Structure 1
Amino acid sequence: MAFSYIPFLLLAIYIHALATLSNAGGHHIRPPSPGYRPSSKFRSMSFYKGYRNLWGPNHQRLDNKALTIWLDRTSGSGFKSVRPFRSGYFGASIKLQPGYTAGVITAFYLSNSEAHPGYHDEVDIEFLGTTFGKPYTLQTNVYIRGSGDGKIIGREMKFHLWFNPTKRFHHYAILWSPKEIIFLVDDIPIRRYQRKSVATFPLRPMWVYGSIWDASSWATEDGKYKANYQYQPFVGKFTNFKASGCTAYSPRWCRPVSASPWQSGGLSSQQNMAMHWVQSHYLVYDYCRDNKRDHSKTPECWG
């Protein structure tokens, strides 16, 4: 009798293969488990315990533990951490605006632009707004000592997501240590940027920021679609704030946090498998694979 089950087994394998193939076309399936969830290792904080409004105070509202910021034709809004950090885990659960959001950026990032204007470091998670029926693009980026000086070098990797980020809150995080930067979505590593030289890695203290603003000149399909204020306000919601690590004022013996089960950092084999799954299914741009780029300026791409 066991032999008769073989056709059903083959059919199950075939259906699984079809699901995997269809996923590449935008259908959502669950990614493999990373096996370790760093967000559970760090305590959430209330917004005002760690952050302050930076701009657009009239476009920012705190309800219970959720912060809402919005953009309309008069202003956007942004917030900033009270303390600068030299390493740490920085996360927030974010829910995005549905519908037409072209030209609008909702961002969560690290930067020292106010301390080093024109010559700053930055580590970005940016949600690039979109048109009806098209998915958001999550852009990760790393800048090192460059802005406003004509020498800015972006290190963009862009992803679509395996879920609809407008339906509910999802947790997005940056793990920054002196030897690597790891971007995570719901505890799944999507990108690991390793320190290969001092010239290609941010090492100066940075603050944590969040914002929503009009970037019509480039945000959606290189500026093809602009912000349309017929659909205002454009809203971003943030909650479950986490910022844990070594501040700029911590003693030298403060140990950097890790995104993996090991204090030494890196990723476990299971985390690596989950990251490669995301990159094989949802990566839509990698600066290292862009033949139009001058890779003499991005030597970390060489291996």
Structure 2
Amino acid sequence: MAQLILLPFFMLLFFLFPSSNNAQGGPPSPGYYPSSSVSSIGFNQGFRNLWGPQHQSVDQGSLTIWLDKTSGGSGFKSLNRYRSGYFGAAVKLQPGYTAGVITSFYLSNNEDYPGYHDEIDIEFLGTTPDKPYTLQTNVYIKGSGDGNIIGREMRFHLWFDPTKDFHNYAILWNPTEIIFFVDNVPIRRYPRKSDATFPLRPMWVYGSIWDASSWATEEGKYKADYRYQPFVGRYNNFKIGGCTTNSAATCRPTSGSPVGSSGLSSQQYAAMAWVQRNYMVYYYCSDARRDHTQTPEC
């Protein structure tokens, strides 16, 4: 039912804020740039290696991680645990054959609640040379890693080639909403509609590269092919503007919008609508194969 309300609102925005760009150009300006409110940090200022140290290198604050047939890849983790905040990084992806490989930046409390954790994901799903990368956003609430996860996926292709240069990707998470940004353009907003459908427990910030051949590319049709190794992910321009679990109760995270602590401006909604209209390729609430009694927010 929420979807039926949402779509006409976005259609109205298309008329009120028409884009001067076509689908081959960039999105209309969001008019607000939350990343400018958060200082950049080097990798070692906010993160540490979690696994695969032999497949991870740091150079002047920038991070490179890679996957090859000798390992399961590499991962990193924030120094602190957060209860809200703005979390971002610039990422450059590998061109060519990368099917089956996931490069990610995400929030999770899996180490604190194994089998019953929350997660907010930005995942780049590897691809074949003739097809674009897919950026998957996802939200888990008290899920597990044993096949019982109830995913809330929204997937996009991008309006640029993410292998040509670094682009900024970010998650804003506060007690009322989750907003995903690409180069400061909001691409998805997930509001808190109930405690049961929103992650509220503190989380760490992670990133990784790993082999997910069973599902990553066209539902597992194409697997990781180690003739094309190493598979490399590059990160820099890390940004963390958040409230840790040790922060004062008065701590407030960076706002994602000029309109206040929750929601987006009309200009931001218009930019998000443009992205979803032209580049969204999957939305879990629209998937007729899904059991939507498990996702009541739809």
Question: What SS does the aligned partner of 2:269 have?
Answer: helix
Alignment partner, residue 35 of structure 1: 31
TM-score normalised per structure 1: 0.90
| 1:262 maps onto 2:273 in alignment | no
| 1:287 maps onto 2:267 in alignment | no
Whole-Å Cα distance in 2 between the matches of residues 265 and 81 of structure 1? 25
Code of the residue aligned with 1:280 in structure 2: it is R
Report which of the two structures shows the higher radius of gyration computed on alpha carbons: 1
Q: Percent identity of the aligned residues?
A: 72
Whole-Å Cα distance in 2 between the matches of residues 256 and 106 of structure 1? 26
Contact 1:178 1:256 in 2 (8 A): no
Contact 1:56 1:77 in 2 (8 A): yes
Alpha-carbon RMSD across the aligned residues, in angstroms, is 1.4
- Quote how far apart the aligned CAs of 1:264 are: 2.0
Question: What SS does the aligned partner of 2:196 have?
Answer: helix
Alignment partner, residue 5 of structure 1: none
Code of the residue aligned with 2:41 in structure 1: it is M
Question: What SS does the aligned partner of 1:288 have?
Answer: helix
| 1:144 maps onto 2:141 in alignment | yes
- Quote how far apart the aligned CAs of 1:207 are: 0.3
Alignment of 1:1-303 (within 5 A): 20=22, 23=23, 28-75=24-71, 76-148=73-145, 150-301=147-298
Whole-Å Cα distance in 1 between the matches of residues 292 and 41 of structure 2? 41
Question: What SS does the aligned partner of 1:299 have?
Answer: coil
Question: What SS does the aligned partner of 1:86 have?
Answer: strand
- Quote how far apart the aligned CAs of 1:91 are: 0.1
Contact 2:34 2:254 in 1 (8 A): no
Whole-Å Cα distance in 2 between the matches of residues 297 and 162 of structure 1? 32
- Quote how far apart the aligned CAs of 1:263 are: 3.3
Contact 2:44 2:61 in 1 (8 A): no
Code of the residue aligned with 2:200 in structure 1: it is L
Gaps of 5+ in 2: 1-18
Deviates more, 1:257-266 or 1:278-287: 257-266
TM-score normalised per structure 2: 0.91
- Quote how far apart the aligned CAs of 1:153 are: 0.2
CA distance 1:224–1:244, shift in 2 (3 Å) = same
- Quote how far apart the aligned CAs of 1:149 are: 5.0
Contact 2:255 2:261 in 1 (8 A): yes
Per-residue CA shift, 1:119-165, capped at 9, x if unaligned? Answer: 00000000000001210000000000011355310000000000000
Question: What SS does the aligned partner of 2:143 have?
Answer: coil
- Quote how far apart the aligned CAs of 1:114 are: 0.4
Question: What SS does the aligned partner of 1:300 have?
Answer: coil
Whole-Å Cα distance in 1 between the matches of residues 212 and 186 of structure 2? 27
- Quote how far apart the aligned CAs of 1:87 are: 0.2
Whole-Å Cα distance in 2 between the matches of residues 286 and 100 of structure 1? 25
Code of the residue aligned with 1:218 in structure 2: it is W
Contact 1:34 1:188 in 2 (8 A): yes
Whole-Å Cα distance in 1 between the matches of residues 80 and 48 of structure 2? 10
